[in-house]
Amino acid sequence: MSENSNSNSTVFYRGSIPRHYDEYLGPMFFEPYAIEVARRIDHSSIDIALELACGTGRVTRHLRNILPASSKLIASDISSDMLAIAKENLQGLDIDWEILNIQRLPFADGSIDLVVCCFGYMFSPDKVKAYSEAHRALKPGGLLLFTTWDKLENNEASYAYRMIAKKYLTEPIPEIFKLAYAMHDIEEIRRDLDSAGFDQISIEKINKISVSSSAKEAAIGLARGGAIYNEIMKRNPAWVDEIEEQVEHDLTQKYGAAPVEAPMSALIIEARK
């Protein structure tokens, strides 16, 4: 996540949020796409890999598992609280941890073989600048591999939560409410990558199923593990419990109490330098 989303990631993903994010939302939303991203990587020719917006380290673990032992893996995020959990989860593994701004990467031109960014570019205010930095740092032929969420309505558990949370947010709705699901225009993504210098651009919509062991756990994660939590807390902390109860009821009505299995959708993008 970028530093200019400085407020987005360092403010919105701190305190108790990273722990709930990791415990509840991690397996529900992010693990399936972490597996999908890792399986697309040809690890045979990678000496140095860079992960941006690594969060609590779900993709990082899969990258370290598939990359050769001799490969260097740099995992980064702008949120020190998220990074602290990633380090705790993956302690003992050979990973270089960095707090980085994705719009100003501190790497020499043409020094990286692979850049991975799962669900992070949505928070960058200048997408072309962020892509351009990845392009600059990549070696000729290097790969940028990243994911972004499809439309909110195609991610049903998140949609259910956000429609409930929205009732508690007065106009104008805070920007953070929209950011995570605002980057789904395939042609716009393609144009921005082209402007940044990339070619061989491939964009796929990949549907998966989000799974939680129960509607209660899904509701806890959604109500307390996302960026909107802070916005609700500013207005009235008691609302968090109300929202959590309503989300649990809604998810139970739609998908059953346990387990909860709901459709989700994301874009996976591959671009070569």
Residue 14 has a pLDDT of 64
- pLDDT above 70: residue 18: yes
pLDDT over threshold 80, residue 241: yes
Q: 3-state class of 21 per DSSP?
A: helix
Tokens at residue 47, please? 């000496």
CATH topology of domain 6-272: Rossmann fold (3.40.50)
Residue 102 has what pLDDT?
94
> What confidence tier does 200 reach under pLDDT thresholds 50, 70, 90?
very high
Strand partners, 263: 209
Q: By three-state DSSP, how is residue 265 classified?
A: strand
pTM for the full model? 0.93
* Cα distance between residue 177 and residue 228, in whole Å: 6
* Mean pLDDT confidence for 17-31: 95
What is d(CA 149, CA 128) in angstroms, rounded to the nearest whole number? 18
145-156 tens-digit pLDDT = 999 999 999 999
Q: Where are the domains of the chain?
A: 6-272
Q: Mean pLDDT, the chain, as a whole number?
A: 93
Strand residues in 120-228 grouped as ranges (E): 138-149, 199-212
Cβ neighbourhood burial of 171 (10 Å; 0-12, 13-18, 19+): exposed
> Which DSSP letter does residue 173 get?
P
